Amino acid sequence: MSERLLVIGGDAAGMSAAAQARRLRTADELEIVVLEQGEDVSYSACGIPYWVGGQVTDRADLIARTPAQFAAADITVRTGTRAEAIDLDAGAVRTAGGERIGYDRLVVATGGRPTRPPIPGLDADGVFGVHRLDDGAAVRAAVAAGARRGLVLGGGYIGLEMAEALQRRGLEVTVVLADPLPMQLLDADMGQRVCDGMVAMGMTVHTDQAVREVLVDAAGRACGVRTDVGSYEADLVVLGLGMGPEARLAADAGLAIGPTGAVDVDRSQRCRDHPEVFAAGDCAQTFHRVTGEVAHVALGTHANKQGRVAGSVIGGRPARFAGVLGTAVTKVGELEIGRTGLCTTQAEQAGFAYRTDVIEGTTRAGYYPGAEDIAVKLVTEAGSGQLLGAQVVGGTGSAKRIDVLATAIWAGMTAEELAGSDLSYAPPFSPTYDPVVVAARAVSRIEQG
């Protein structure tokens, strides 16, 4: 008799776990059933701003695989099926429809929950999250219906990307931040570059202003927001306030929840107190590669890798998740932004004696057409020059340089070692000394006295 793997959640982590388990075990050995409360699986939430902005024209382009394609691989996907409760003792899940589905192995991949503070009016018509494809469709419909003023709450990745998307669609864009600057995982000097870039694009940016109320018109539709400083009108309001773990189902079942609010798992993605249960993706706690401390970082890259680890272990192949650096890139207009490892606040909290260095350069040889300004900031351990974190802000060609820095941090390199590394060069791609190497040399010169 075959075993049953039951997966709760049909996006990155859940479907990666299901697909990897199927690669390793046949349908005769392992039945795989996925419960997804929505109608879409394996979709790119990260692509929603670009669908709203028009760079992606077809909703279907954001869907990697359909339920029918999974069925062809002997993976049963039940969309429109919400898991209501987990009975750990009985090894069963109860759906919202009252059905009980037993399991031998369970993967909890319930994803993230958009941050929604208790602000009056936040649930009004015309206030949009950016979490599912239906959210993107709703924003597109509002723009098509004639919205001319878009207001974005929050200055993280989604906030910036949605601000650009609305501007591309011809809306007048206002961004309201409770924080002093956008991109709080950047240091203030780098965040200021992002803020300046947004203003230069024609966006209005209000910082240090927590929203107290979403204003609604006589029809009950959002028409602006009120802060302690003033009120700002809008035809639609988009929420980009961050993402927390969606771990309520796991917590209600009695699975251990870590200090980050996410499900506590070991490095094989097993729940520590229930080895037949795994958790992966935005609902699961992980650890930071530099500090070793527990962390929660909601990124699709991590979710896919964690799901694959869980699926490998369930399929009989040992695997371990190697941790995170929080490496991420985004753009607003032509300004590209990348970060990895620790910013100075995180380095200080982790107890490092650190130093920072910023260099200015160009993305290509200065004489080559299209050379853009770039700033590279390194956070290193004082004395040893150990790389702890890095940030990049600049024009086209800047952001993906963060991958070189992430790889160096992952490998435990010092600034001096990075300065001597063999990076490529040709005038269309970089100056003779790439800005990454220049930044590392600046650190190593000082550390050597």
Q: Annotated catalytic sites, by residue? A: 46
- Check if the beta carbon of residue 171 is closer than 8 Å to that of residue 148: yes
- Check if the beta carbon of residue 388 is closer than 8 Å to that of residue 379: yes
H-run or E-run covering 294: strand 294-295
Query: Looking at this protein, which amino acid is placed at residue 11?
Result: D
DSSP state for residue 284 in the 8-state scheme: B
- Check if the beta carbon of residue 35 is closer than 8 Å to that of residue 81: yes
Q: Is 74 helix (H, G, I), strand (E, B) or coil?
A: coil
- CA 324 → CA 159, 161, 168, 178, 320, distances in Å? 23, 23, 33, 27, 12
Nearest-angstrom CA–CA distance, 263 and 296: 10
Which three-class secondary structure string do you get for 395-417? CCCCHHHHHHHHHHHHCCCEHHH
Q: In this structure, are strands 3-8 and 222-227 parallel, antiparallel, or unpaired?
A: unpaired
- CA 349 → CA 55, 80, 291, distances in Å? 40, 43, 10
Q: In this structure, are strands 83-87 and 92-95 parallel, antiparallel, or unpaired?
A: antiparallel
Nearest-angstrom CA–CA distance, 136 and 45: 9
- 393 has which bridge partners? 337, 375
- Check if the beta carbon of residue 344 is closer than 8 Å to that of residue 379: yes
- Check if the beta carbon of residue 239 is closer than 8 Å to that of residue 127: yes
- CA 72 → CA 22, 138, 292, 307, 310, distances in Å? 12, 31, 41, 20, 22
Say if residue 436 is exposed, middle or buried (CB neighbours under 10 Å; 0-12, 13-18, 19+): buried
Nearest-angstrom CA–CA distance, 358 and 417: 18
Kindly give, in sequence order, each residue whose CB lies less than 8 Å from that of residue 144, ignoring residues fewer than 6 positions away: none
Nearest-angstrom CA–CA distance, 260 and 294: 7
